[in-house]
Amino acid sequence: MTLIASKSNKEAFYLLHEGTQYQSYQFLGAHLEERDGCKGVNFAVWAPNAKEVNVSGSFNGWDGTHHAMTMQDGIWSLFIPELEEGTLYKYEIVTLDGDRYLKADPYAFQTEVRPETASIITSLENYEWQDEDWVANNSSDQHLQRPLLIYEVHLGSWKRKEDGGFYSYVELADELVDYVHERGYTHIELMPLAEHPLDSSWGYQVTSYYSVTSRFGSPRDFMYFVDRCHQKGIGVIMDWVPAHFCKDAHGLGRFDGSPLYEYADSRKGENPTWGTYIFDYGKPEVVSYLISNALFWMDKYHVDGLRVDAVYSLLTLNFNRPKEEWITNEHGGEEHLEGIAFLQKLNAVVFSRYPDMLMIAEDSSAFPGVTTPVDYDGLGFNYKWNLAFTSDTLSFMKKNQSERNGQEDQLTRSLLGTRDANYVLPYSHDEVNYPNKSLLGKMSGDDNWQRFANLRVLYAYLMAHPGKKLVFMGTEFGQMNDWNAEGSLEWELLSHEEHQQFAEFVKEMNHFYKGEKALWELDFEPSGFVSLVAEEKEDSLVTLLRKAKSGNDQLILINNFKIEAHEGYRLGVPEPGGYQEVFNSDKLEFGGSGITNAERLETEEWSCQGYAHSISVNIPPLAAVILKYMPKEG
């Protein structure tokens, strides 16, 4: 039985070939159906250049000749009665040259656990979601004016069992979600979960874009994980990889015997550094495939956002290519016009259906307008990773005390660009994988006390700096070694006092950040912050005034990156009144030296640093002090 050529199918096919079919997963792939009273599965796959396509699986001894498909408008289809959920299958492709091979279903909802590669007939229907409150409370979410504190996670190495096995989605839905909630993060960002054959790729080389990886359980198990996050008030962001795909034989590459999903020209269609194929963004069916996939994770799994990987590679034709191999576009430039158009279309479509979705660009380029709306000729993301901030701050923190003199611009120049884009400030997995060292391992210092103090002031500066926040797992308790994706985080470190103290500092800092509107409400507004005492860089003090919409809701955040303390430091302030210390990274319970400001600090009419009023404040070594403004009474 073939797919009936109904009016609705003709329209669906037409939109697919136009590049505007944004729910192609609803009719392509394997779907449990009932026809004329007979239950079975309808298979449909786009393979316009194949000579034959058959359905091969565990039900026919992997001999596809018993189940030949028929083609209409480049779509091969077949209804097979009596097949049930859980059945294994692949498509048997016969090329124009007569070659015959098996391919996994590009639209499969589930795939075997690696190293096996068969697709699995699966229904994603009838899961009873319990996240109504989350959906209702976030339906009008204005992300730019809310706290965003992301905990980036690689599920396979957050924690392992004693035998080295993975925790399942269901087990993580309790242990990981409770952990993240307790420590004050607003979102979990999951490194790519689409099915991938190689653990060491961390999920960035995908074979099955519609299959959540079976390493940790079933699609329904992952639904439960997301559901549990939402019930705990935690959003879920997923890394998404539309820039390239791996060359494994069962995957998308040369799918019907020809370059179908990838560019035919190897100069555009292959990434030599990563050893992968590049999607053909000029092909309407590929655009439909990718945008449908982005929406699929939102439609079926309720994810709250996508961090789009390797955006720079979609913006230029010559990403990672030696100069002698450079090519140009039709106008003679290096811009990847089709890649840019795809990103604009992606964001326009996503926001037309999910206005409050998080679409975050991991982009290392200086391409303008990444977070400018598409209507204003931007790429249309609502956030971009600020990788310059990451590089500059970590470069500074690696320097010993004498080397920091005169280098404070590495800390402050990112402040000059805070309004160039809506930024997320990331300390991600890229900064801590081998051989880059953990964040704690990057900190300079003569002993552990200095290294932990450096990490505390860096973390506090991250919270003080305009922009949303992302930190990789393990940072919150001071992971010592580089991140190892084949093992577990070093949870045993929490048996040591200094790591416990740092973990308590991060927990309190996170909750403090979430509770103070001045730290996030005007992140991207000119009135949201002022840099104070910039002319006294020799002190290695970076002092920011952060404001909320309410004019009197102000914080002064003093960050001291030197080992020298300052007793009675004279600090000019813009408003008369009082200032109360509300956070101090040097508290004894955090492992600090205990230099604090116990009393309310009253302003004096003492001109200092360009202001008519000033206060006298104690600033501890390698520490952050946060003062809350108290308006002058009367």
Q: What pLDDT, on a 0 to 100 scale, did the predictor assign at position 1?
A: 38
- 202-211, 435-444, 528-537, 561-570: range with lowest mean pLDDT: 528-537
Interval 560-582 mean pLDDT: 94
Can you name the residues that pair with 119 across neighbouring β-strands? 89, 111
- 14-23, 233-242, 319-328: range with lowest mean pLDDT: 319-328
pLDDT digit string (tens) for 233-276? 999 999 999 999 999 999 999 999 999 999 999 999 999 889 99
Instruction: Inform me whether the pLDDT recorded for 609 exceeds 90.
Output: no
DSSP character string of 239-307:
EE--S-B---TTSSTTTTSS-SSB-SSHHHHEETTTTEE-B-TTSHHHHHHHHHHHHHHHHHH---EEE
CA–CA distance, 102 with 575 (Å, rounded to integer): 72
Instruction: Inform me whether the pLDDT recorded for 5 exceeds 60.
Output: no
Catalytic site residue from 131, 285, 362, 523: 362
pLDDT digit string (tens) for 426-463? 999 999 998 999 999 999 999 999 999 999 999 999 99
The answer to whether the beta carbons of residues 12 and 1 sit under 8 Å apart is no
Q: What pLDDT, on a 0 to 100 scale, did the predictor assign at position 3?
A: 41
Instruction: Inform me whether the pLDDT recorded for 139 exceeds 80.
Output: no
Q: What pLDDT, on a 0 to 100 scale, did the predictor assign at position 534?
A: 45
pLDDT digit string (tens) for 59-76? 999 999 999 999 999 999
CA–CA distance, 110 with 124 (Å, rounded to integer): 10
Could you give the residue range(s) of every CATH 2.60.40.10 domain in the chain?
7-120
pLDDT digit string (tens) for 479-534? 999 999 999 999 999 999 999 999 999 999 999 999 999 999 999 998 999 988 64
The answer to whether the beta carbons of residues 579 and 630 sit under 8 Å apart is yes
Q: Tell me: domain 195-377, CATH 3.20.20.80, correct?
A: yes
Interval 305-310 mean pLDDT: 97
CA dihedral 183, 187, 190, 193 (to 10 degrees): 130
Catalytic site residue from 152, 189, 270, 309: 309
Instruction: Inform me whether the pLDDT recorded for 95 exceeds 80.
Output: yes
CA–CA distance, 48 with 572 (Å, rounded to integer): 71
Interval 293-304 mean pLDDT: 98
CA–CA distance, 103 with 248 (Å, rounded to integer): 10
Instruction: Inform me whether the pLDDT recorded for 6 exceeds 90.
Output: no
What DSSP element (H or E) covers 225? helix 219-231
Instruction: Inform me whether the pLDDT recorded for 354 exceeds 50.
Output: yes
Q: What pLDDT, on a 0 to 100 scale, did the predictor assign at position 9?
A: 76
Pick from 457, 283, 465, 303: which is nearest to 293 by CA? 303
How many alpha carbons lie under 13 Å from residue 25 in its C-beta half-sphere?
24
526-631: CATH architecture: Sandwich (2.60)
Instruction: Inform me whether the pLDDT recorded for 2 exceeds 50.
Output: no
Interval 562-578 mean pLDDT: 94
What CATH homologous superfamily does 7-120 map to?
Immunoglobulins (2.60.40.10)
Confirm whether 309 is a catalytic residue.
yes
DSSP structural state of residue 592: S
Count CB-CB contacts under 10 A for residue 96.
Answer: 12
Interval 151-155 mean pLDDT: 98
pLDDT digit string (tens) for 576-587? 999 999 999 999
The answer to whether the beta carbons of residues 570 and 597 sit under 8 Å apart is no
| Alpha-carbon separation of residue 268 from 49, 207, 254, 274 (angstroms) | 21, 20, 15, 14
The answer to whether the beta carbons of residues 513 and 469 sit under 8 Å apart is yes
Could you give the residue range(s) of every CATH 3.20.20.80 domain in the chain?
195-377
pLDDT digit string (tens) for 358-404? 999 999 999 999 999 999 999 999 999 999 999 999 999 999 998 99
Mean pLDDT score of the chain, rounded to an integer? 94
Could you give the residue range(s) of every CATH 2.60.40.1180 domain in the chain?
526-631
Confirm whether 171 is a catalytic residue.
no
Interval 76-83 mean pLDDT: 96
Q: What pLDDT, on a 0 to 100 scale, did the predictor assign at position 406?
A: 84
